[in-house]
Structure 1
Amino acid sequence: MAEANPFRPEEHRFGPTHWFEDLTVGQKFYINSRTQTESMFAAFQLASGDNHPIHYDREYCRARGHRDMLAHGLQVAIQGAAGAGIFPHVIGDSLIGFLEQSSRFLKPVYCGDTLYPMLEVSELKAGRTTGVVTMKLTIHNQSGTLVCDGEHKYLVKKRPQ
């Protein structure tokens, strides 16, 4: 029996594409919280090649006044990856690319901490056929402390004429 409306992979998506003009300053894009586990520390150490004992040796960390292993700075920053949240799904086919990123590491993040990332549109700079979307990144820990902030910039298409 043939389906009345056959499945089409290109229609299997979050929703319709949102264009540069559909975004507003102050619009927030949540990213799910994530607890920084020992496995995440090990995976980041393996991927980055950063083998400093502050990231894997608890006794080394305690001897230097830390309560546990200290997360790599970039391990914290990647918790704000837009693809871990809904932003790229909301803008869909209008996303051209990720242009740049900055981060400030404000407080330590330890193994076992849970991080709560958020991206918020802070500036919209229109061009002729595209625009640059600047997003403020904030990452808080389970105590509500801001541990990292920064900025992301994305190139997004304007609505086709």
Structure 2
Amino acid sequence: MTNAHAAAFQTVSADNHPVHYDAEWTRKRGHPAPVVHGLQMLAFTAPGATLFPHFIGEVFISFLELSCTFLAEVHSGNTLYPALTITGLEPQGDTGIVVTAATIHNQRGVLVLSGQHKYLLRRQ
């Protein structure tokens, strides 16, 4: 995660809260540095941001649902490791729902995001 990544996301999201860019503002409020946007973190768990599409092939139909909990702050300079782990399969005729646990760990092994995603896939 770099300052450029955070600035680009801030521009795209239009979220200009000072917690995301003003180092002095964040320090006065107990943060060690500006905090990366939560939605930017969540984007790193999208199927295409992981190896998931390489394992499922051409069966993806849609992203149905997601939930997550932000467990620790992320700052520029952190290295992030997103992962999706299949936790459930729900066949439905010619389609099925795949449930995954979504996680992101930082370079120290700290779990910074935990969640769940559901996808609709074609059965092969």
Unaligned ranges ≥5, structure 1: 1-35
The code of the aligned residue for 2:82 comes to P
Distance 1:113 1:91 in 2: 29
Task: Name the structure 1 match of 2:9.
Answer: 44
Q: Deviations over 1:15-49 (max 9, x none)?
A: xxxxxxxxxxxxxxxxxxxxx11001111101111
Is 2:65 the counterpart of 1:100? yes
Task: Name the structure 2 match of 1:69.
Answer: 34
CA contact (8 A) 2:85 2:101 kept: yes
Regions of 4+ moved over 3 Å: none
User: Residue 93 of structure 1 aligns to a residue in which SS?
Assistant: coil
Report deviation, 1:86. Answer: 2.1
CA contact (8 A) 2:33 2:75 kept: yes
What percent of counterpart residues are identical? 49
Report deviation, 1:95. Answer: 1.0
Task: Name the structure 1 match of 2:77.
Answer: 112
How many residues matched?
Answer: 124
The code of the aligned residue for 1:89 comes to H
The code of the aligned residue for 2:49 comes to A
Report deviation, 1:105. Answer: 0.4
Distance 2:83 2:68 in 1: 13
Distance 2:34 2:55 in 1: 36
Report deviation, 1:62. Answer: 0.9
CA contact (8 A) 2:50 2:84 kept: no
CA contact (8 A) 2:50 2:82 kept: no
User: Residue 56 of structure 2 aligns to a residue in which SS?
Assistant: helix
Question: Over alpha carbons, which structure has the higher Rg?
Answer: 1
Unaligned ranges ≥5, structure 2: none
Distance 2:58 2:82 in 1: 24
Distance 1:151 1:70 in 2: 23
Task: Name the structure 1 match of 2:119.
Answer: 154
Query: TM-score, normalised to structure 1's length?
Result: 0.74
Distance 2:22 2:76 in 1: 11
CA RMSD of aligned residues (A): 1.0
CA contact (8 A) 2:87 2:101 kept: yes
User: Residue 39 of structure 1 aligns to a residue in which SS?
Assistant: helix
Task: Name the structure 2 match of 1:26.
Answer: none
The code of the aligned residue for 2:101 comes to K
